[in-house]
Amino acid sequence: MFIIKYRKIWYVFSGLLVAASLFAVFNFGLKQGIDFTGGSLLEVEYASKPDIDALKQKTESIGFGSVVIQPSGEKNVIFRLKDITEDEHQKLVSTLVSAGDKEVRFDSIGPVIGKELKRKSITAIILVIVMIVLYIAFAFRKVSRPVSSFYYGLIAIVALIHDVALPAGVFAVMGYYYGVEVDMLFVTALLTVLGFSVHDTIVVFDRIRENLKSYSGDFPTIVGTSISQTITRSINTSLTVILVLLAMFFLGGESTKYFSLALLIGVGVGTYSSIFLASPLLVTLHNSKIRS
């Protein structure tokens, strides 16, 4: 199959994407929301479409010059600022909310809680990756030839790093140029992508395991046959998810817009990696063992 035959092309393409993503993350960094840095968030629903410049002037006039103002839908506006007291909150509301307007929500997260959330988010991602390796190694424990079950888990992790790096890179660029922040919803999206991606990869690996028992051909041919048998299923499954996410992105609320975008990117690259990266890497490992 051409996917196996031209696997070096996919390796180079994926390598360039991951390198660009990691460069963006380390060079620009991810713009962290108040979930991680601590701060306050005020959302106001106005009776008519608000003037953002006028709102900015109002906040500056009462000493809140560092407020980030973000439109949310047609009439809502989100104000992000440092952690403030209840008196400062009431002062801000009295300045920004007039008759006919409505305060929708006010959230305040201290810096200590923000650091704790960041630590737990990183821990959750690492634990998920470790558990995935252990599960795959256990599930494929009877598959020792021609590639050890350990390598199935290792390759799945390589694919997962690929799938997480790309959304992170995109959001690093968007944060640097457009001020897009990452929050707990972004972490939730990454964890969802990890689960979706590894599920798709395991489907292909499981077909390889079945075909190793049924076919007597060489390993690259069996892997290519397995990809051919599962590629339609993978694409159709991903398309149904992507259609839902597109509807969420274009028709959903502002608060879930970037959550659905992170999922869109992750599901797309996850489907790609399970077909064009994970299984061909098994063939590369097998061939390297033969040569050695």
Question: CA 197, CA 216: separation in Å to the nearest integer?
Answer: 29
Residue with tokens 């009431």: 90
* Contact criterion met (CB below 8 Å) for 70 and 78: yes
Under CATH, which number does the domain 39-109 receive? 3.30.70.3400
| Token pair belonging to 274 | 């399970």
Of residues 30 and 2, more confidently modeled: 30
Provide the percentage of residues in the chain whose pLDDT is more than 90. 34
Could you read off the pLDDT of 190-222 as tens digits, one per residue? Answer: 989 988 888 888 888 889 888 888 877 788 888
Q: What is the pLDDT of residue 246?
A: 94
Question: CA 140, CA 94: separation in Å to the nearest integer?
Answer: 62
Of residues 65 and 102, more confidently modeled: 102
Question: CA 142, CA 190: separation in Å to the nearest integer?
Answer: 31
Q: What is the pLDDT of residue 238?
A: 92
pLDDT over 80 at 147, yes or no: no
Per-residue pLDDT band at 143 (split at 50, 70, 90): low
- 175 burial (CB, 10 Å; 0-12 / 13-18 / 19+) is buried
Out of 71-75, 143-147, 258-262, give the one with best mean pLDDT: 258-262
3: helix, strand or coil: helix
pLDDT over 80 at 113, yes or no: no
Q: How many CB atoms lie within 10 A of CB 114?
A: 19
Q: What global pTM score does this model have?
A: 0.83
- The lowest-confidence range among 57-61, 105-109, 207-211, 213-217 is 213-217
CATH homologous superfamily of 2-34+112-291 equals Multidrug efflux transporter AcrB transmembrane domain (1.20.1640.10)
Could you read off the pLDDT of 24-47 as tens digits, one per residue? Answer: 999 999 988 887 887 888 899 998
CB burial readout 245-273, b (16+ within 10 A) else e? beebbeeeeeeebbbbbbbbbbbbbbbbb
Q: Where in the chain do CATH 1.20.1640.10 domains reside?
A: 2-34+112-291
pLDDT over 90 at 266, yes or no: yes
Question: CA 128, CA 191: separation in Å to the nearest integer?
Answer: 8
Q: What is the pLDDT of residue 244?
A: 94
Of residues 284 and 149, more confidently modeled: 284
pLDDT over 80 at 111, yes or no: no
pLDDT over 90 at 227, yes or no: yes
Of residues 261 and 120, more confidently modeled: 261
Question: CA 252, CA 76: separation in Å to the nearest integer?
Answer: 14
Per-residue pLDDT band at 144 (split at 50, 70, 90): low
Could you read off the pLDDT of 235-249 as tens digits, one per residue? Answer: 999 999 999 999 999
Selection from 170, 197, 209, 165 nearest residue 276 by Cα: 197
pLDDT over 90 at 12, yes or no: yes
* Contact criterion met (CB below 8 Å) for 156 and 136: yes
Measured N-to-C along each axis, helices 279-291 and 219-251 cross at an angle, to the nearest 10 degrees, of 150
Question: CA 96, CA 267: separation in Å to the nearest integer?
Answer: 40
38: helix, strand or coil: coil
Of residues 35 and 12, more confidently modeled: 12
Q: Where in the chain do CATH 3.30.70.3400 domains reside?
A: 39-109
- Name the DSSP class of 32: B
pLDDT over 80 at 110, yes or no: no
Average pLDDT, the chain: 87
Out of 79-83, 247-251, 285-289, give the one with best mean pLDDT: 247-251
Which residues face 68 on adjacent strands? 80
